[in-house]
Amino acid sequence: MAQHFLLTANSRTISELEVARMSEDEARVTFEKLRWSDTDGEPVCSNCGCTNSYVINTTSKTGKSIRRYKCKACRTQYTVTSGTLFANHKLELRDYLIAIIIFTNAVKGISASQMSRALGVQYKTAFVLVHKLRASLIDNKDNTKLEGTIEMDGCYVGKTRPMNRKEDRLDLRLAQNLNPNKRCVLVARQRDTDGIGANRTFTAITTGEATQSIDSFAKENIKYNSTIHSDGAIGYGNLEAWYESIKGDHSIAYVGENGECSNQAESFFSRFRRLQYGQCHKLGNLYLSNYVNEVAYREDNRRVSNKTMMLDIASKSINTPTHSEWTGYWQGNKRTSERLVA
Ligand SMILES: [Zn+2]
């Protein structure tokens, strides 16, 4: 049997130690090359796009040295983080790279409390930081529709825990006893044409596997005439109008005689459950869509070297504009409603 990817040398092309040993200047240059990749790291004015600038080295109130640039054309002063997710950052740039390599190496996700211990920062700081990374994964996602062979399925979050005493337990089959906060995570995964797993994944949060939700999720994310494998639940019944719909029956076999199979969707759920139960424990519905998209990213990049993945996440975050949801979060600037598919 082939060696597991995480045991190969390719899974550890960079270590947390290597990043921790970088100087602040090396970390800055890393971010500059990712942000200004067209000029190989030469600063580009965030106001007018001019590439001629002076260097001004300043020191922050906390004694941190900051490399600032002043545009020769429009006189705007800027740094590598100006106008990005990390604008007005309190930590050193190297700390952000360390956070990103820790986030990358956590193949089942990482909770804010674990990140706060790793970086020696308050829980609130770590909470916003890991959410900024998740937001950058969403904002820079390739939204081209899936095509070819797709697997679709749903799993549930927020199930009601039965009461201790038998006489207090509710009949959870009855509609009036259902937990109103229960949500369904819908997933669609495009199979790799080489036949090794799946390589692109879309997710959505719904209140259940209703036909309408599944139809709108599929039409938004999957090209017409693709082939969709599902477990044959009623909600997937309409798909055959637009797709070749192949339904398996898990009560008989997980892989049917004619190749019916949604194991790649199950593989996604498996990683998601490890994040949910083993790492984050409580996933609020408000940001559930961000967590499941993180799991989708990890599944799709499960065989990418950790250095490539770290640089990809660093590039996505340094190229994400100042975020409306994650600037001033603890001052009250918060998302007010869930991201639900109708
Ligand atoms: Zn300028």
Task: Please list, residue by residue across 316-327, b when 16 or more beta carbons sit within 10 angstroms of its beta carbon and e when fewer do.
Answer: bbbbbeebebbe
- Amino acid (1-letter code) at residue 170: L
In a domain, 12, yes or no: no
With respect to residue 183, please indicate whether it lies within any of the assigned structural domains.
yes
**In this structure, is residue 62 part of a structural domain?**
no
Domain that holds residue 209: 149-159+171-283
Q: Which residues hold their Cβ within 5 A of ligand 1, which is an ion?
A: 45, 47-48, 50, 71, 73-74, 76
CA of 325 to the centre of ligand 1 (A): 27
Structural domain contains residue 236: yes
Count of structural domains within the chain: 1
Kindly give the distance from the C-alpha atom of residue 83 to the centroid of ligand 1, in angstroms, as a whole number.
Answer: 13
Q: Rounded to two decimals, what is the model's pTM? A: 0.93
CATH number, residue 257: 3.30.420
**What are the pLDDT tens digits along the chain (342 aa)?**
678 888 888 888 899 999 999 999 999 999 999 999 999 999 999 899 999 999 998 887 777 788 999 999 999 999 999 999 999 888 999 999 999 999 999 999 999 999 999 999 999 999 999 999 999 999 999 999 999 999 999 999 987 778 889 888 888 778 788 888 999 999 999 999 876 889 999 999 999 999 999 999 999 999 999 999 999 899 999 999 999 998 887 777 777 777 778 889 999 999 999 999 999 988 889 999 999 999 999 999 999 999 999 999 999 999 999 988 888 888 888 888 888 886
Separation CA 52–CA 61 (nearest Å): 28
Cα 313 to middle of ligand 1, angstroms: 27
CA–CA distance, 342 with 339 (Å, rounded to integer)? 10
Q: Is residue 43 included in any domain, yes or no?
A: no
User: Is position 142 within any domain?
Assistant: no
Q: Measure the CA angle with vertex 291, ends 286 and 295; round to 5°.
A: 160
Cβ within 8 Å of residue 120, ≥6 positions away: none
